[in-house]
Amino acid sequence: NLMERGIIEVAPLAYMRGRTLNNAFVIIDEAQNTTPAQMKMVLTRLGSRSRMVVTGDLTQTDLSSNQPSGLAITLKILKSVEGIAFCELTNKDVVRNPLVQRIVTAYQNYEQ
């Protein structure tokens, strides 16, 4: 088992402070629910020979309406930083039930 051998680790953000993630492939999932401070903290854990992927959907944040998403702030702050790339998926990338594509489109149209 990869988790038992310590090759794969699942860790909450609360346990990241003070760590350096060397020789690692780090996945930060559901990042739309991070605060700006949490996002900065986790991004700055990246150590040598490591890569990080941050995923999230800004339309599905669970934060209160007065709390900005760390992911949204990060996109603005890091958009022109060399060595960082962003990939935005659209309703055309939905691989669930075909109806989900139409639901996502309907919500996007409503929010405009």
Torsion of CA 27, 94, 101, 59, to 10 degrees: 10
Tell me, yes or no, whether 61 lies in a domain.
yes
Tell me, yes or no, whether 57 lies in a domain.
yes
Tell me, yes or no, whether 8 lies in a domain.
no
Q: Which residues constitute the domain of residue 23?
A: 13-111
Tell me, yes or no, whether 49 lies in a domain.
yes
Tell me, yes or no, whether 58 lies in a domain.
yes
pTM comes to 0.84
Tell me, yes or no, whether 54 lies in a domain.
yes
CA distances, 49 to each of 6, 9, 35, 53 (Å): 18, 17, 26, 14
Domain tally, the chain:
1
Q: Which two tokens stand for residue 62?
A: 């669970």
Q: Render each residue's pLDDT in the chain as its tens digit; 112 residues.
A: 999 999 999 999 999 999 999 999 999 999 999 999 999 999 999 999 999 999 999 989 999 999 999 999 999 999 999 999 999 988 888 888 989 989 988 998 998 7
